[in-house]
Amino acid sequence: MNKSKWKDKAAGRIANAGMKLQRKFSDMMDKLLLTIPTGKLKMIVVMFCLCAGGFSIYLIANAIVSKPKSPVKIDNVHVPKHFDKAGDEIMESNIDSSLYQQIQEYKRYMDSTRQAIRPSLLDSIKLLEEIYLSQLIK
C-alpha cells in the first residue's frame, strides 16, 4: 500500500516536471516568435517545408531507385576436418612409441606449469595410453 502511494507521488512529480518544462519552452518560443516579423516568419515556414519536403522526396526516390542491400551477411562456417568421426578409428590403428613419448612429454609439461588438462583431452590421452599399453601386451 505504502509503496504504491510512493510510486504515484513520484509519477505525479515527473509528470509535473515535464509539463513545467513544456510550458517554459512554449513561453520562450512565443517570446522569440513575437519579435520576428510576419513576412519573415512565413518565409521561414516555407523554407522549412521545402527542405523537409525535398528530403522526404529524396528518401522515397532513393528507396525506389537503389538496389536493395542484404541486411545480414552470411559467412561460410569453418567446419573441422574430422567433425563427424567419433574416435573409433583410433582403435583400429597402431600407436607407435614416438606418439606415446609425445603424450608423456605433454603431460610432464602440463604438470610442470601446474595447469590442469581439460577433462575431454585427459580422457583422450588415457584412451591413447590404454591402446598403446594393450599393444605392448599382445
Residue partners of 117: CB distance under 8 A and separation at least 6: 107, 110, 125
**Contact predicate 125/103, CB 8 Å:** yes
Average pLDDT over residues 113-120: 81
Task: Dump pLDDT digits (tens) for 78-93.
Answer: 877 766 766 665 555 6
Positive/negative CA dihedral, 24, 27, 32, 38: positive
Percent of the chain with pLDDT over 70: 91
Domain ranges in the chain are 2-65, 89-137
Cell of 115: 595447469
Task: Dump pLDDT digits (tens) for 3-43.
Answer: 778 888 899 999 999 999 999 999 999 998 899 899 999 99
